[in-house]
Amino acid sequence: MLRYAAISLASLALLAAVPAAAQEAGEDALDAIRKCRDIAEDAARLACYDGATGSFIAASDSGEIELVDRQRADRTRKDLFGFSGARLPFFTDGEEIKEIESTITRVRRIGRDGWQITIEDGDAVWQITNPPMRFNPPRVGDKVVIERGALTSYFIKVRTQIGVKGKRVQ
pLDDT digits (tens, 9 = 90+) for 1-47: 333 333 333 333 333 333 344 333 334 778 888 889 999 999 999 99
Question: 100 and 163 in one domain?
Answer: yes
Question: 101 and 164 in one domain?
Answer: yes
Q: H-type helices in 64-154, by residue range?
A: 70-79
Average pLDDT, the chain: 76
Distance CA 107, CA 141 (A): 10
- Name the band, by pLDDT with cuts 50, 70 and 90, for residue 106: very high
The H or E element containing residue 127 is strand 125-128
DSSP-assigned letter for residue 128: E
Whether residue 123 is contained in a domain is answered as: yes
Rounded to two decimals, the pTM is: 0.57
Q: Please count the structural domains in the chain.
A: 2
Q: Provide the domain limits for residue 56.
A: 2-68
Residue 91 has pLDDT above 70, yes or no: no
Pair 130, 165: CB distance under 8 Å: yes
Question: 62 and 14 in one domain?
Answer: yes
Whether residue 159 is contained in a domain is answered as: yes
* Low-confidence winner among 17-21, 119-123, 130-134 (lowest mean pLDDT): 17-21
Whether residue 84 is contained in a domain is answered as: no
Distance CA 68, CA 35 (A): 22
Whether residue 73 is contained in a domain is answered as: no
Q: What is the pLDDT of residue 151?
A: 78
Question: 54 and 19 in one domain?
Answer: yes
Distance CA 9, CA 22 (A): 16
Distance CA 94, CA 78 (A): 11
Question: 109 and 61 in one domain?
Answer: no
Q: What is the pLDDT of residue 148?
A: 85
What's the longest Cα–Cα distance across the chain? Answer: 76
Pair 137, 127: CB distance under 8 Å: no
Q: What is the pLDDT of residue 89?
A: 57
Whether residue 156 is contained in a domain is answered as: yes
Question: 12 and 48 in one domain?
Answer: yes
Question: 113 and 52 in one domain?
Answer: no
What percent of the chain clears pLDDT 90, i.e. is strictly above it? 22
Residue 93 has pLDDT above 80, yes or no: no
Spatial CA neighbour of 78 closest among 120, 130, 117 = 120
Distance CA 144, CA 104 (A): 7
58 backbone dihedrals φ, ψ, rounded to 5°: -65, -40
